[in-house]
Amino acid sequence: MKLNRQHIRLFIAQKWLFWALLVVAVILLAQLAEHTNTRIDMTTTQRHSLSPTSMSLLQSLEQTIDIEVFISRHHEFRDLASNILKRYQRASSLVNVRFTDPELTPQRVRELNIRQQGEILVSSGSRRQHVLDLSEQSITNALISVVRQQQPVIVFIEGHGERSPFSDANFGLSLWSGYLQATGVEISSLNLAASPSIPDNTSVIVIASPQRTWLEGEIRLIQRYIDDGGNLLWLAEPEQHLLLSPVAEQLGLYFNNGRVLDINAQLLGIQDPGFVVIADYANHPVTVATPSVTLFPDAVAIEQNTAVATDWDFTSLLHTGDQSWIQMNTDRADGFLPEFNPDTDMLGPFSIGYLLERWPDSDDTPQRIAVLGDGDFASNSYLGNAANLDFANALINWLTEDDALIEIPLITTPDNQLKLSDVQSIFLVIGFLFVLPLLLITIGVLLGWQRRRR
C-alpha cells in the first residue's frame, strides 16, 4: 500500500497524540500515587494494621497527640517503632510522631525520666504516659490514658475479707487493677470502719466478694452513697450476698439461694459444673465489647425484685444456658451433684448479672450500678480465661461513663510454629535428604538419555 502525504500526516499526528496522552497518564498516576495511600493487609489477624477500635479512637480525637520515641538512630528497634507509629499517623492527622536520640539529648532524658532505649512518651497537653514496649495494646492504652476527660478514681472497699486490688494471690485482683492503671485509672482502697466517709472524687466503688459481716453504719454509708448518685460495682458470691441484703433490697434485686451449675462447662474441658459458661448476653455496649464466652466459677443467680418500686432501668446482662440449674444443697463437702434433681433444684436459664441505670433530675449524667453473682471471674486465677478480661474492662469503662472507650483490643498473632509428630518428622527428613535428590538425579538421567538418542 502506497502512503500519500495525508496518510503520513495522520500517522504523525497519531504518534504525537499517543505520546501526549502517555505523558498525561504518567502525570496523573504520579499525582494519584502522591495523594493516595492504600494498603492491603493480607495476614490472618491483620497484624500489620490497627484494630477497628484503635482506628475508632484515633478518628474521634479532638486534641493533638504527641508521641516521642527515645531511641538511637541505628538501634535495631527503630524501624519497628517507625512502622508501628506510622499506622497511627495514617489514621489521624492529629498524631505527631518524632524520634529523639537519647545519647544526644541527655538533659531531656533526665527531665522526662526516660529509663530505657525505645521508650515512648505519649502526651496531650499536660498529661503524659510512658510506654515501655512496642505493641498496639500498650500504645492505645497510653492514648486512652491521655485523652480521658478526667482520671477515673475507683475505690475498692476493704475490711470484710474482700478481694484486694493489690493482692497477687489467686483470690486477689492485682492483674485486673494493673491493667486498669495502665489506661489511666486511679486505684485505691478504703476501710469504712477506719475512714467513715467516701472521697468526693470517687468515680466507682467496688465491693468485691465480702466474707465477713458489715457494721450497720457501713451499710448505711453505702446506701447513702447510692442515694446521692454514686456508681457501684458489686461482686457477690453464693451465700455471702446475705451480708449486704439491705443494699440488694434498695436496688430492687433478689439473690436466689444455692449455686448455679452448668453442664456446658464440659465443652471447654472443665469437668466441674460449678463453672458457669456465659454465651448469651443482653444487647449492651459492655457485651458488644466482649468478643467470646466468659467464665464465672461458683456463681449465684440474680432476679429483679418486682415487689420493690424503683426508678432504675434494669438490664439482665448475663444469661446462663438451658442446661444450667441451681443446686439447693450448697454444702461443698458433699460435692456438686452431676445431674439436675427436680425435687430440690431449679432448672435454668438464669441471670447472674444485672446493670442498673437512672438519670437524676439534677444531672444529665446517668448513675450506673453493676451487680454480678460472681467475683472469681476477675481474680488473678481466672482473669485470663475466655473473654473475662475484655468483659471486666468494658464493665469498668461503662461504670466510669467512658462509653467511647469501652473496648480496648489486644491483637495477637496465631501460633506460627509448625508442630510435627515423630513419624511426620522422619518422613520429612527422608523426603528432603533422599527422595527429592534421587528424583532430581533420575530426571536428569532421563533427560540426558533422550538427548543422546536424538
For 311-369, write each residue's pLDDT tens digit: 899 999 999 988 888 887 655 444 554 677 777 888 889 999 999 999 877 667 899 99
Give the integer Cα–Cα distance in Å for 174 and 176. 5
Tell me if 200 sits within 8 A of 413, measured CB to CB.
no
Give average pLDDT by consecutive 10-residue segment, the chain, 454 residues.
71 85 87 69 61 79 90 89 90 92 91 90 87 84 79 93 95 92 89 91 95 94 94 94 93 92 78 88 89 91 87 94 80 55 83 93 83 96 90 91 61 52 80 85 86 77
* pTM across the whole model: 0.70
What is the pLDDT at residue 403?
A: 66
| Whether 166 contacts 374, CB under 8 Å | no
Cell digits for 387? 473473654
Q: Which CATH architecture has domain 152-405?
A: 3-Layer(aba) Sandwich (3.40)
Cell of 223: 446506701
Distance CA(335)–CA(204), nearest Å, equals: 37
**Looking at residue 47, what is its pLDDT?**
63
Q: Is 153 helix (H, G, I), strand (E, B) or coil?
A: strand
Paired sense of beta strands 153-158 and 186-191, if any: parallel
Check residue 413 and give its pLDDT: 43
Residue ranges of the chain assigned to CATH 3.40.50: 152-405
> pLDDT at position 414, please?
45
CATH 3.30.420.40 fits 52-146, yes or no: no
Domain with CATH 3.40.30.10 in the chain: 52-146
Distance CA 144, CA 39 (A): 25
Cα 367 from Cα 410, distance rounded (Å):
29
| pLDDT for residue 425 | 80
C-alpha–C-alpha distance, residues 301 and 316, integer Å: 11
